[in-house]
């Protein structure tokens, strides 16, 4: 499962939208996000780890990297 699919899953189970996510990310980070900018980052594969961690936190998840 790719990052875009995971975020879309989180959005669906939380009955949310990219628009609401963009508003919340702007509030949390102080950096301007829009529905289009998040979607474009996901399509281009340019969402960075800090942004992914922020999105995970918004939906009540934590990213945990473990050694294989």
The tokens for 27 are 């509030």
Cα 7 to Cα 1: distance, rounded to the nearest angstrom: 10
pLDDT of the residue at 25: 98
CB distance 4 to 42 below 8 Å: yes
- Mean pLDDT per block of 10 residues along the chain (68 residues) reads 92 97 98 97 94 96 92
């Amino acid at each position: 499962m790719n990052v875009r699919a995971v975020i879309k899953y989180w959005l669906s189970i939380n009955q949310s939208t990219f628009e609401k996510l963009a508003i919340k990310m702007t509030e949390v980070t102080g950096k301007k996000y829009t529905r289009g900018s998040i979607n474009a980052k996901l399509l281009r594969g340019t969402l960075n780890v800090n942004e992914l961690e922020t999105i995970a936190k918004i939906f009540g998840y934590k990213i945990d990297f473990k050694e294989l």
